[in-house]
Structure formats: C-alpha cells, structure tokens
Amino acid sequence: MNYIPVTELEKEAMLKEIGISSIDELFRDIPEELRFKGDLKLPKGLSEYETRKALIKLAKKNTDMNQLANFMGAGAYNHYVPTLVDHLLSRSEFYTAYTPYQPEISQGTLQNIYEFQTIICELFGMDVSNASVYDGATAVAEAMVMACDKKKNEIIISKGLHKEYRETVETYANGMGFTVKYAELEDGITPVDAYEAQATDATAAYVVMYPNFYGCIEDIQKIAEAAHARKALMIVSVSDLSAMGILEAPGNLGADIVVGDGMPFAGPLSFSGPNIGLIATTDKLARRLPGRICGMTVDTEGKRGFVLTMQAREQHIRRAKASSNICSNQALYALANNITLSTLGKYGLKEMAENTLTNAHYCRDRLLEIDGVEMLYDQPFYSEFAVKLPIPARVLQKHLLKSEILGPVDMGIFEKELSNVGLFFVSEIRSKDDMDRLALAMEVIINEQKFI
C-alpha cells in the first residue's frame, strides 16, 4: 500500500505541465552509475489489515506488564498516568504539528510549553526550564556543557548516578575536552569528602542523583554547600520524578541546575519509550540553557501570546557557536507531562508520593523477613531499594515471572560484582496483595534455589 493521493490520469497531467513524459526524467541529475538497479531487498508491501496483523504477531512475542505485577524501576518508573492523557495527546492538531516556528498558528503547542516550563520550575524549585531535551541521561550531559568552559573543564559525578547516565556523560565529554571524575559511594551515599578528594580549581560542577541509583536519598544540601565553597555548580539529577511530591525541591537546597526524566508522567514505559529530558536552572544561567524556550509576549493588538525566544543560543542561528546542537526534542511528552501533572495537581502528586513511600517501605519490610535477604545499604529511601539476595538476581527474576511478577532489576547488568543484588521499585499502584505475593513467591524460590 501507499499514501499517495494521485491517480494515473492526474500524474499524466502533471508530467505534461512539467513538459516531460515520465517520472524517471526528473532524476536525470543523478549519474547513471549511481542509480539503484532492481528492487530494494525488503518484504513485499502489505495491506493495512495485513500490516496490523504482522505487528500484532510481533507484539505478542513480548510479555507485557499488564499481565504482571511490576517491581522494576532503575530509571523507568511506572506510576499512574491518567487515561485522558493519551486521548488528549492523540488530538492530531498537537501530534501532527512541527516545531512552533510560526507562532500565530502554533499557540496550542506554545502555551503548553509555557505551562510545562512553569510546572517543571515548580517541581524543581528553579527559575527557568527549557522545552525539554531527549532524556535524563542527555540532560545531565547538557548540564555538564552548561557548567563547563575552557578553564573550568571537569566535573565530579557521584557513582550513585545511573550507570547509563554516567556512560552518556562520558560520551559527550569525550571530544569536548571535558574531564569526568567520580566520587565514590560510602554505604550507598556520596560523602562530601569523596567530592573534595577529587576537586581542583578546574572543577566546574558536582553531580548527584536524588534519590540515587541505589534508591538512597542523598543529602544534596551538604553537597551543594561544598560545591559552592569550591566555586563549582551543583547539578542534581532527579531519578523518580514523583519524588518531587515528598522530597524538598533541589532548588531550595542549593542546586544550580536540576535535570530529570519525565518518563513516569508521559505514558506507558514502551520498552525505551516516552523519555523526556528535563532541565531547569537559575535566572543567572538561563542563557546557557540548550534547546527551545518559550516566552510570553503580546501581538500587534496587545493580545497575550507565546513565541520561542532567546533563540540566539540555538543552532539554527548560532551554528558552530550554539549552546547545543539539539533541534528536535521530546515536545509531545512535554505535553503529556503538563497534562498528567495538571490532572494530579498539587495534592495528587503529594498523595502519589506519600503512598509510594508507604508501599515501598511495607514491601521492604516484607522482603527482609525472608531468610538471607538483606538491605544492600541502610539509608533513607523513597520508591526504590537494593537488597542482597542469597541467589543471583537473574535467577530470582526468571522464577518470579512464573508467578506473574516482573522484577527486580538485576544490578549485575550494571556492575558484575552486584549479580546477587536486586533493585526493587514500588509505587502507589502496587497493591498490598501484589507485595505479599512477591514476598511469598520470593521466599519459596530462594528456599528452593539455595539447595540447587
């Protein structure tokens, strides 16, 4: 099939107008030796019905979370997303539009960005947000670019930052001439000394995750004070965004740049799905932000409206001197974040976070009743905690699937020596029954496996 609304007769009329007799003539600028001969080796096209069947067949080879009780997080956090979100996202005036470069006919997208920027600033306690970057990992990388310059060209990152975020930052740093140093964890959190031990006059920023990759809540206030004493910036990467319903906003604890990923509020996790990089900062650093920013203004008749602004930072104007090369971002998921967080509102987010905290602690208590299961670190936590298991996490995972339970995340995939550590994520949508079932199943599996 195809989506071409031109008939053979119409085609003939068009060719005639152009003054040629076949479409092929239009390609005469392409040297003959470069013309592709024959057919591309691709399966034959299908009808709409057949295509849908083929895709359903592929989808069926996956086990979807709806059939399971999910206890996996580690950067992809499954919280409640209201039904209305996907309905509103599906309004095609939103999703079939391009970047709002023509503001007169893009006020829907633009007003959404303005509201989104406000909501992100509220969550993080910051002055300015942009319209999004790709994901949480690239948001940390962009924050590094904001913080570093020729003189201050190194950053110190806590080992408690998500492994994949660290790897992404390293990729970005390599080539830009920035050095990435690491502050080691001590009992699951990053002591100020670990940063201080690495710091020099060239240190541009300290980076910490909040709560960190192991679920532990870091004292970002202390770290921020130490960073500022060194004339370095404090970059905070928020892990599970819903934590902003219960944890103090990083901006109120001394953060200069706050980043995160709006995935939990953008829709179903979709394997590697609706990531949306969040990045917010102080008024002082606003002009170093990457990507698009929306501002309020007025039209020629004095009516309120919105435009993309401060574009002198961006690649289409500054080219080689732009603050980033980013062009497309994750705009549709910014809309989803705005809708979800407007629906939850002030008290919904708080309730979500408090229920998550309650559930996660109940679950932890239940799991610790099992012989041989211990906390990896004994620190305050929010929605995630890492436990040491008497069996490999991978084995536990496999057997839990039989009880229709997904999780925990096998920490061995990040650090080989942690193959007996499982990272459990528990949110407000997990029922007491789910957690009791998990504890029961785990106990049985561990007892069976220990003797194998």
User: 199 vs 291, which CB is nearer to another protein?
Assistant: 291
Cβ–Cβ < 8 Å for 78, 65: yes
Measured from the CB of residue 443, what is the shortest distance to another protein in angstroms? 19
**Rule CB under 8 A: is residue 385 a binding residue for another protein?**
no
Q: Binding marks (x or -) toward another protein, 183..212, rule CB under 8 A?
A: ------------------------------
Considering beta carbons, is residue 105 or 197 the nearer one to another protein? 105
CB of 56 to another protein, least distance (A): 6
CA distance 427 to 354: 10
SS3 249: coil
For the CB of residue 279, give the shortest distance to another protein in the complex, in Å.
Answer: 13
Q: 328-356 b/e with 16+ CB inside 10 Å = b? A: ebbbbbbbbbbbbbebbeeebbeebbebb
CA–CA separation, 41 and 39 (whole Å):
6
Q: Which of 206, 265, 333, 385 binds another protein (CB under 8 A)?
A: 333
Give the number of residues in contact with another protein, rule: CB under 8 A.
Answer: 212
Nearer to another protein, 300 or 371 (CB): 300
- Minimum distance from residue 221 beta carbon to another protein (Å): 6
Chain-centroid distance of CA 158 in Å reads: 19
Any contact of residue 180 with another protein (CB under 8 A)? Answer: no
Tokens of 389: 């298991």
Please give the torsion angle defined by the CA atoms of residues 135, 131, 174 and 146, in that order, rounded to the nearest 10 degrees.
-130
| In the complex, least distance from residue 370 CB atom to another protein, rounded to whole angstroms | 19
Task: Convert residues 276-295 into a mask of x (bound to another protein by CB under 8 A) and - (unbound).
Answer: ----------x-----xxxx
Q: With binding defined as CB under 8 A, does residue 415 bind another protein?
A: no
**Nearer to another protein by C-beta: 199 or 281?**
281
Distance of CA 187 to the CA centre of its chain: 26
By the rule CB under 8 A, 268 interacts with another protein: yes
Cβ count near 36 (within 10 Å): 7
- Binding another protein (rule: CB under 8 A), the pick from 197, 317, 440, 444 is 317
Chain residues 221-240 in contact with another protein, contact rule CB under 8 A: 221
Tell me the C-alpha distance between 80 and 126, whole Å: 25
Q: Does residue 152 bind another protein (CB under 8 A)?
A: no
Q: Which is nearer to another protein, 69 or 199 (CB)?
A: 69
Residue 242 found at the interface with another protein (CB under 8 A): no
Q: Are 389 and 372 in contact (CB under 8 A)?
A: yes
Shortest spacing between CB 160 and another protein, in angstroms:
15
Cβ closer to another protein: 350 or 388? 350
**Residue 305 lies near another protein (rule: CB under 8 A):** yes
Which 44-73 positions form the footprint of another protein (CB under 8 A)?
44-48, 51-52, 54-66, 70, 72
Q: How far is the CB of 219 from another protein (least distance, A)?
A: 7
Q: Out of 181, 228, 288, 350, which residue is the one contacting another protein (CB under 8 A)?
A: 350
Give, as one character, the DSSP assignment of residue 175: H
Smallest distance, another protein to C-beta of residue 190, A = 14
Please state, as a whole number, how many other Cβ atoms lie within 10 Å of the Cβ of residue 192. 17
346 binds another protein (CB under 8 A): yes
Euclidean distance between the first and the last CA atom of the chain, given in angstroms as a whole number: 55
What residues are paired with 388 via a beta bridge?
374, 421
DSSP 370-430: STT-EESS-S-BSSEEEEE-SS-HHHHHHHHHHTTEE--EEGGGT-GGGTTEEEEE--TT-
Q: Could you give the CA distance from residue 452 to residue 448 in angstroms, rounded to a whole number?
A: 7
Looking at residues 9 to 48 of the shown chain, list those that interact with another protein (rule: CB under 8 A).
10-11, 13-15, 17-18, 23, 25-31, 33-36, 39-48
Is there binding between residue 329 and another protein (CB under 8 A)?
yes
Binding segment for another protein (CB under 8 A), chosen from 103-111, 149-157, 197-205, 230-238, is 103-111
C-alpha dist (Å) from residue 38 to 35, 43, 279: 10, 14, 48
